[in-house]
């Protein structure tokens, strides 16, 4: 089903190409930078001028974020599905649990809260002001997540939004909408599908989509994954 808000499918998992116009000083930009691009460059210059960080440190962080994709979040969720002790730690100490898998959150980065979808409660994440998102685990947010349509409708009609992504939440399940902020980001731990007993973490990770970790859909069933 095609959503009026955006495409519910996972984006390309291609990593950062490493190609940057800055490597070619003689290359002019095709168009003027937009408001946010100019603002970002001004902030970067100020950080360097104040000695808070160097250009190399900024570029390293940009490259690190660009290299992330939903596959990283899926790896974490798959471990939680497979290891009850790890799941407990992930829910209670996200930073420590992520560090166990090699995902160390940068100093002074927004707090990450991990919430678990169950039979009785389903979480859906939105950023009503802009596009706050756990980029360190999921990469860049999809365009629909940043759209005004999603940001407004997810709050007033979350069940309707999820239906447009092909997911019908049972009436008996409580839906809670979580609003991400500059200081707090959320990762949804989707429910483990039935029929996945005995599957390896790698196989489980194939069932976990970006959208299920935002909460607009559920994880794929083994049958759906095989058919695709």
Residue positions annotated with a catalytic role? 127, 130-132
φ, ψ (nearest 5 deg) of residue 14: -60, 140
The tokens for 193 are 């599908």
């Amino acid at each position: 089903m095609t959503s009026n808000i955006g495409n519910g499918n996972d984006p390309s998992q291609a990593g950062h190409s490493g190609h940057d116009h800055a490597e070619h000083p003689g290359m002019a930009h095709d168009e003027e930078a937009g408001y946010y691009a100019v603002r970002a460059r001004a902030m970067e210059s100020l950080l360097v001028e104040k000695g808070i960080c160097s250009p190399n440190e900024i570029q390293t962080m940009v490259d690190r974020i660009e290299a992330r994709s939903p596959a990283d979040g899926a790896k974490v969720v798959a471990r939680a599905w497979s290891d009850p002790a790890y799941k407990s730690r992930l829910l209670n100490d996200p930073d420590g649990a992520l560090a166990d898998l090699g995902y160390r959150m940068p100093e002074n980065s927004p707090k990450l809260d991990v919430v678990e979808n169950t039979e009785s409660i389903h979480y859906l994440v939105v950023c009503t002001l802009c596009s706050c998102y756990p980029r360190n685990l999921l990469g860049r947010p999809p365009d629909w997540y940043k759209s005004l349509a999603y940001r407004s409708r997810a709050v007033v009609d979350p069940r309707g939004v999820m239906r447009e992504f092909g997911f019908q939440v049972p009436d008996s399940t409580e839906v809670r909408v979580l609003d991400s902020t500059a200081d707090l980001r959320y990762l949804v731990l989707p429910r483990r599908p039935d029929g996945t007993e005995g599957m390896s973490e790698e196989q489980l990770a194939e069932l976990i989509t970006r959208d299920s970790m935002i909460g607009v859909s559920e994880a794929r069933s083994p049958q759906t994954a095989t058919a695709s």
